[in-house]
Amino acid sequence: MIGFDKRDSFWLARSLGVCVALGMCILGIGRAAAQDVAAPPPPPWVAPDDAKKVKNPVPATQETLAAAEMLFQDNCVLCHGEKGMGDGPGAKTIKVKPANFTDPKLQATETDGGLFWKMSNGRGPMPAWKDELSDKERWELVNYIRKLGKDAKK
């Protein structure tokens, strides 16, 4: 009778072991697959100090903001979304998440000059706009990005 018990527990231990090994395997495959889908976030994007210091020469008036809103609708909403939350319809098709302009951290850490430099030069799926839009248009868009940040707080 004692011998039987021993064999029982041997089998129990063995099947448990197999289960654990299998489970770890499945988890491992799952994790590898998940990594393949969600690319790791890109390194922080930092504008050069010189560019950050440049002051915005375009005042934010009703006219310049209205002009910027049209530019934003035509060129940026696709990825950055209607309210600038980074949730435009095109955002789903690219691996890097478009910047969320309603993020208070983004608004606080980036200068006007930095935003201007980034939209001029682009990175990865973010297009470079310096040849598509004039300097004035890009500065207007900087003001509009600030407005999106303020609107989100209301």
Residue among 80 and 113 whose Cβ is closer to ligand HEC: 80
The distance of closest approach from Cβ of residue 71 to ligand HEC in the complex, given in angstroms and rounded to an integer, is 6
Question: Long-range contacts for 133-141 (Cβ within 8 Å, ≥24 apart)?
Answer: 133/71, 133/75, 136/58, 137/67, 137/68, 137/71, 139/56, 139/57, 139/58, 139/112, 140/58, 140/64, 140/65, 140/67, 140/68, 140/71, 141/68, 141/71, 141/72, 141/76
Identify the residue among 63, 124, 128, 135 touching ligand HEC (CB under 6 A). Answer: 124
Task: Establish if 104 lies at the interface with ligand HEC (CB under 6 A).
Answer: no
Task: Establish if 65 lies at the interface with ligand HEC (CB under 6 A).
Answer: no
Stretch of residues binding ligand HEC (CB under 6 A), selected from 3-11, 14-22, 51-59, 74-82: 74-82
Instruction: Give the footprint of ligand HEC on residues 76-95 (CB under 6 A).
Output: 76, 78-80, 90, 94
